[in-house]
Amino acid sequence: MLSVLKKYSLYIGNFLFAFLILSAILFIGGFAPFGNKSLAIMDASIQYLDFFAYWKDVLLGADCKK
């Protein structure tokens, strides 16, 4: 077990370093899971808004071709 930890200590250290830096950035910025902001807000406004508007029209029958 100790030899495995020695072998992979660099990888584990890099992972933990990146994890801590990202967690600190999310915490300072107030992003989820530490705050109310979301990282997906830009993607959601571009990608999902049009889809849900179309889906609403389909469900209401406004986009049905006869």
What residues pair up with 37 in beta bridges, in sequence order?
31
| Chain Cα centroid distance, residue 42 | 11
Span 3-57, pLDDT tens digits: 888 889 999 999 999 999 999 999 999 888 888 888 777 776 777 778 888 888 8
Run of H or E residues at 7 = helix 2-29
Retrieve residue 20's tokens. 């801590």
CA dihedral 19, 11, 40, 55 (to 10 degrees): -140
For the chain, strand residue ranges (E) read none
Higher pLDDT among residues 59 and 45, named by residue: 59
Higher pLDDT among residues 66 and 60, named by residue: 60
- The whole-model pTM stands at 0.55
Nearest to 56, CA basis, from 44, 48, 46: 48
Confidence (pLDDT) at 3 = 85
